[in-house]
Amino acid sequence: MKKIQYSLTVKILTAILFVLFLSVAVVSTASSIYMADEGYYDPHSLSFFDTALCAQTTQSYADDIYYSYLYLSQRADPSTEDEFQLKQYQSKYAKENTNFFFTVTDEEENILLTNFEEQDYGTQKSYSYNHDNGMYDETYTLSAYVKKSITADDNYRTTYEIFNLLFSMRYISITAAALSALVALLLFIFLLCMAGHRKGEEGIVLSAQDKIPLDLYIAGIITVLLLLVNISISFFGMSYIVEVVYVMVCTIAVETLALALSMTLAARLKAGKWWENTVIYRLFHLYYKFSRYINKLICDVIANLPLLWKTVSIFTAYLFVNGFLVILLFSTHGEFFIFLLGLLFNMAALLGLCFVSLKMHKLKCGGKKIADGDYNSKIDTKYMFWDLKTHAESLNNIGRGMSKAVEERLKSERLKTELITNVSHDIKTPLTSIVNYVDLLKKENIENESAIEYIAVLDRQSARLKKLIEDLMEASKASTGNLTVNTARTDIVELLNQSVGEYIERFAASSLETIIRTPQKEVAILADGRLLWRVFDNLLNNICKYSQANTRVYLDIDIISSKVMITFKNISSYSLNITTDELLERFVRGDSSRATEGSGLGLSIAKSLTELQKGNFDLSVDGDLFKVVINFDSIT
């Protein structure tokens, strides 16, 4: 089937049928519009004498009477040829040879020429003509009458037959227009599908017309159309039949040209890169290649100059061109073209300066991103040149180097954490044995006082070591995120009160007064109650260890802008001469002498556990005032 539809014969026959059906559709549509405008679809009020056909014929006869027949009849000394033409007119407008009757009168209503004898007429019209006789203007009136029964064989007979034909086909033309348009559309789609295909060949094959540059092709079609319009002027004033025939020829020509253009466009679009087969594209491509060559030549020269000399050279060239344009402008006495050329040159220079500024801004933003810690950010060096490109590549290299350094540091931290976890696990096994054997020794009946003291020391220190190892393992898991977090709705007020209740005796032993300020209602957050209790436990344990005796401890819960703020405040018994960042580091303690018990891991663990639960942990020190603020999103 494809072999048949892609054959040249099928294409030609389909194209002929398309033009034929489209012509029928155009003619039928034009006829329907014309008849609708003339009232053909209202038969009760329509008469031939009311149509434009009748009016145009009457106007033509009236002009012929005035400009030819009347002129010949009024000549004082007619020639033999004039007499012959006059007889021809007399015969033409004899009542048995014409359907047109007339009476020509002057301003005094004197009859100058007539063939009207009170015959029955279907319509009557009057025309006025101005005549300059050399002394003054004179107005002639021509009364035209069209015979009621069109019997004579003249132009009225022709138009009357056309009228009857149109009237009889008024509904057929609508049907013909719709059907022809539908068939023409289907044929047009079929032709577009066949465009670019050739029998016996695969893929899209461009024909000779498809290889003509598209802009030249379109220009040729426009030229032919203008030529047809030009020729049509010479057909004005001819007979109605000639005008109709010429319009039909023009319609077919336009349809053929439109079809050819549509098919070549379809073939070019299917083949792809249709824009490359245009004269404009080729000229621009040639200009682009030439400008690239010149630009490369200039860039190679300038690229080998230092930045200062590049700037001086470009600015000197700019001043030189501007000076030349100013001299040229004065020498041509302000020629507009020179002024426009100078304006364009300076606009181009401004655009170039803006381009450099944009690239510098890109360098600035890229450097800021790297400075802010975004080491993976890369500056796009496309369209950059000279020192700008070199600087951008240097910044990219810095970013890569910093990113690599950060990766190495993270790797080192990870290895350190894993080492701590593994060592702690290895120490825990023998430590468990030590604790168990100390416990067994305590149960023995030992009477030696010194041995009892030694066992007590072993018991105390092994318990401390066990606590340290547990803290180490917990800190390691918290910092690496290896803890399971089971978040649920948690009443923070109740959890804080329970945690404080565990430390009432220790607060009393340390002479600390606790002041708790919380809302009376439930304050709910999304957290893991077990891990959050561990956070509170670490903070309250620190308060017991490091608070100044006989001071107050403030524990507050506030709701600020959908955030739940839990605040712990106490007065330190040691001088806090270290920063908050150092306090949050592992193995750092508030007493620099390390005289108290503790591992220095409490705050680090609390911070890691808080962040695991999507909360924020903020530590601040003001003199001896130690303050921790934990905040979570509140839920209703």
Q: What is the pLDDT of residues 235-275, one digit of tens each?
A: 655 555 666 777 788 888 888 888 888 888 888 888 888 88
Per-residue pLDDT at 1 exceeds 50: no
Q: How do 551-560 and 563-571 pair as beta strands? A: antiparallel
pLDDT at 102 over 90: yes
CB-based contacts of 461, cutoff 8 Å, min separation 6:
none
At 464, the pLDDT band (50, 70, 90 cuts) reads low
What tokens appear for 149 in the block?
């029964």
| b/e 52-78 (16+ beta carbons within 10 angstroms → b) | ebbeebbeebbebbbeebbebbeeeee
241 CB-contact burial (10 Å; exposed 0-12 / middle 13-18 / buried 19+): exposed
Average pLDDT of the residues of the chain: 79
| pLDDT mean over 49-59 | 87
In sequence order, which residues have a C-beta less than 8 Å from that of residue 85 and are 6 or more positions away?
A: 68, 72
Greatest mean pLDDT among 108-117, 131-140, 336-345, 449-458 lies in 108-117
pLDDT of 10 = 84
Is 574 a residue whose pLDDT tops 70? yes
**546, pLDDT greater than 70:** yes
Residue 486 has pLDDT above 80, yes or no: yes
In the prediction, which pLDDT does 367 show?
72
CA torsion angle for 587, 589, 593, 594 (degrees, to 10)? -60
Share of the chain above pLDDT 70, in %: 76
Query: pTM, whole model, 2 decimals?
Result: 0.41
Task: State how beta strands 551-560 and 524-527 pair.
Answer: unpaired
Q: Are 120 and 147 in contact (CB under 8 A)?
A: yes
CA–CA distances in Å: residue 519 to residues 34, 43, 291, 493, 636: 89, 94, 76, 8, 14
> Using one digit for the tens of pLDDT, what is the confidence trace for 299-318?
666 655 566 666 766 777 77
Asked if the model's pLDDT at residue 565 lies above 70, the reply is yes
pLDDT value at position 419?
A: 58
Does 408 have pLDDT greater than 80?
Answer: no
Q: What percent of the chain has pLDDT over 90?
A: 6
Quote the pLDDT of residue 238. 57
Confidence check: pLDDT of 422 > 70: no
pLDDT score for 127: 92
For residues 148 and 456, the model is more confident at 148
**Predicted pLDDT at 552:** 92
Q: What is the enclosing helix (H) or strand (E) of 294?
A: helix 279-303
Q: Cα(110)–Cα(103) distance, rounded to whole angstroms?
A: 10
Pair 194, 5: CB distance under 8 Å? yes
CA distance 609 to 612: 5
Q: What is the pLDDT of residues 353-390, one digit of tens each?
A: 777 777 777 777 777 776 776 666 676 777 666 666 66
Residue for token pair 């559309």 = 185
Joined together, the tokens standing for residue 415 give 């290895």
pLDDT tens for residues 110-131?
888 898 888 888 889 999 988 7
Q: Is the pLDDT of residue 591 over 50?
A: no
For 510, residues 6+ apart whose C-beta sits below 8 A from its C-beta are: 544, 547, 549
